[in-house]
Every structure is written in C-alpha cells, then in structure tokens.
Structure 1
Amino acid sequence: MSWIDPSARDPSSPKNIRVDGRRLRSERTKQLIIEAYLAIIRENRQTPVPTAADIAKRAGYSVRSIFERFPDLHTLRVAAADYALAHAAALAPARDIDGDRATRIRSYVETRAGTCERGISLWRALLFNVDENDDLKIRIKVARNRTIERMELMYRPELTALDAAERRKTLIALEAITDIESWARLRDMYGLSFADGCAAWIAAIDRILPPTPEGAPLS
C-alpha cells in the first residue's frame, strides 16, 4: 500500500492552511494589480496602455510581481477586461422590464449611459491594437452582444412585431446609436451634459423602435 500524506485528506491541517493562505494572497495580489491597471486607464485617457512600471507603482508591488502572475501585459489587459465586464454587469441590472414604452426607453438609456460613462477609458484601451489580440476581440464581441441582449429584453413588445430580418436591422441600428463611442462623442465632442446626452439617446431610440403593439403599455 502506498503512503498517503494525512494532511491531503484534512483541509484544516497546518500544511493545507499555509497553501490556501498563499493562494488567497496571490489571488488578492492579482486583483489589486488589475484594479491598479483599471484605475490608471480611467485617470489617464491619453495613455491607453499603462506600462508595467506604472501599474506596479500604483498597485504597490514590484514589476516582477506583475509578471509572476501575468506572463505579459496583453494577458493582464484581457484579465482586466473580464473583471470590468463582470463588474459592469453587476452594477447595471435590467430595470423596469414590464414598464410602458417611455419608462423602458428611459430606464435602458440611463443604465446604458451610466455604464458608458464609467467604461469609456477601458473601452479605448481594449480597442488599442485590438487586431493583435484575438482574446480582446472576443471580449469586445461579448460586450456588444450583451448590449443587444439587453435591448431585446427591454424592447421585446416592439421587436416581436418585426420579422427576423427587420428585427436584426433594428437591433444593429440601436446598438450603434448606444455604442460607448457614441456616448463619448455626445459628452466630449458635443459637450452635452449627462442628462442632455440621455435625452438625445431617448429621442433617437423612440424614433427607431416600431410602434408598440396594442395591448402593451404605451405610456
């Protein structure tokens, strides 16, 4: 019979506690590095990709600590994208799904605008040299698909009245209008306030959506 270390069966053994403690500390270090990366991006819109030295300084670790956990900065950027997408989803649950047309449009726009307001710097960082990183292309596609899925949920009464081809065209148009770069243009290029930007989106969506079917709440 082969000998088996008793500690392997006992998670409370000192040996396993030490291993778990090291793993938890390592995971916490990874999270702090990711958060430092995201903080730098949010604060410095002109620097789409921070250097390892910048990230290390912000996180309070050495450059070596970064590359012990991430083989390169591309991997870190992908991890930061996953973290930010999960965080954005948690902060922006769908609201007023069963409301009338005006309530649903306003609710969607305010939620979407808030997500864009928080995420524009990260989005630009994701797009920087995106053709060199297939993993980032996947994350960008995931983000766009989530936007479409949210619109399908919020505007179901209006969209179900369309055939598949028209529904797809409408969703593409709505996604383009409420794209994060569209929000950046409203805010930065045209100087609109948050409220005025939302009003512009609300008016555009209301024009593009087909009429609300009979029986569904209109207002």
Structure 2
Amino acid sequence: MDGRRARSARTRQLIIDAYLALLRERPQIPTAAAIAQRAGYSVRSVFERFPDLHALRVAATDEVLLRASSRVAARAATGSRSERIRVHVEMRGQTCEEWLPLWCALNANQADSPDLKARIRVIREMVVNRIEEVYATELLTLEPRQRRHTVLAIEALVDFESWARLRGQFELSFEEACAVWMHAIDRLLPNTSADC
C-alpha cells in the first residue's frame, strides 16, 4: 500500500510539474492531453489524481506558493539599505520571471473560483509582508497611514504586471528592469540615519 501511495504521489507531482512547465513555454492554459503527454502518463492518470483541471491549477498554485515562501524564508532581510533593496528586487525579479505565466493563468481563471481568488490574495499578502520585513527600518520612521501607503506603492511597483511591462513591452534586460525597481524603491522610502 505504501509503495502504491508513493507512486501515486510521484505521479501527482510529475503532473503538476508538467502543467507548470507547459505554462512557462506557452501563455495558454494547457490541455489535459498536453499535460499527460509531458508528464509521461495517460489523460486518465491526470483525472485519477485531480477531479478536473481547476483542481490541478489550484494544486500547482499551492506548490508554487510553497516553493516561493521557502525561497523567501531562506534569505534574511539584513544589510545596508542598498543591499536590502538589491536582494529584495533581484529575488522578486526572479520570482516574476519564473512564475509570470502562472500568475496570468490564475488571473484569467479566477472569476468563478473562490479557491484561485484566495490564492491571489495570499500571494499579494506574502509580497506585502516581505516588503514590511525588508524595509522595516525605514517604514518605522513613518506614521501608520503614510507607512501603509508606502508599502502599497512598493507592492504595486513590484507587481507581476509591472515586471511583464518592463521585460516585454519595454524590452529591458533582467538587470535593467531590476535597476528601475531599485531606483524607484529607494525614492519611495524615507531617508533615515541608517541609510549607509
């Protein structure tokens, strides 16, 4: 029984990985047949693990949330202001680079899905929490309303859609897009005595 469960869990993971890989390659929701083919299983195997493609989308989103939160937790928010800005922006840029197709799929399919809407809220809250953690030194110098507005301005700045415009529409390199974000965040944050 344990061997069967392990194989089933492995199959489930390969199906999720196939779904995510296909999304990265093409900005269209993959079909069950394409997912099955990429994973090396039958369409029946897909639907034995997931009742429908919506359930697969939710599971894939949960997988990405877990990976992203682990990556963020591994990077402490320490160092000088410029170091914190650089590390935050580079990490956020890598996240956007890697998961922009999934973000687009989530938004395209959220209308009738409380599950996907909830995941989008969680993602946005994670970004806000990270901003508050990384820039705590600067934010604590502001009164609460101004602090909240600054955090929300930075969240809007480092959003997936912002990254998509910088990289796609304006054709900036990864480094150039990061430089735009770093400059803007530095301008949004208040000056403090700890800015060295």
TM-score (norm 1): 0.86
Deviation, 1:129, is 2.4
Query: Is 1:51–2:57 an aligned residue pair?
Result: no
Deviation, 1:106, is 1.0
1:60 and 1:97 map into 2 onto residues whose CA distance is 41
Query: Is 1:126–2:92 an aligned residue pair?
Result: no
Deviation, 1:210, is 1.3
Query: Is 1:26–2:8 an aligned residue pair?
Result: yes
Q: What percentage of residue pairs aligned between the two structures are identical?
A: 55
In structure 2, what is the equivalent of residue 173 of structure 1? 153
Match of 1:41 among 23, 30, 34: 23
Deviation, 1:102, is 1.1
Query: Is 1:62–2:48 an aligned residue pair?
Result: no
**Contact (CA 8 Å) 2:109, 2:116: kept in 1 or not?**
no
Superposed CA RMSD: 1.2
Deviation, 1:29, is 0.7
Deviation, 1:195, is 0.6
The number of aligned residues is 196
1:114 and 1:130 map into 2 onto residues whose CA distance is 24
1:65-214 matches, within 5 Å, as: 65-93=45-73, 95=75, 97-212=77-192, 214=193
Once the two structures are superposed, what CA deviation does each residue of 1:171-211 show, in whole Å capped at 9, x if it has no partner? 11100000011011100000001110010001110111111
Deviation, 1:120, is 0.6
Q: Which has the larger helix fraction?
A: 2
Which shifted more, 159-168 or 172-181? 159-168
Deviation, 1:94, is 5.7
TM-score (norm 2): 0.96
Deviation, 1:96, is 5.5
Classify 1:210/1:94 alpha carbon distance in 2 versus 1 (closer, same or farther; 3 Å). farther
Q: Which runs of 5+ in 1 are unaligned?
A: 1-18
SS at match of 1:131: coil
1:160 and 1:190 map into 2 onto residues whose CA distance is 34
Greater C-alpha radius of gyration: 1
Once the two structures are superposed, what CA deviation does each residue of 1:95-136 show, in whole Å capped at 9, x if it has no partner? 462311111111111111111111111111111121111101
SS at match of 1:132: coil
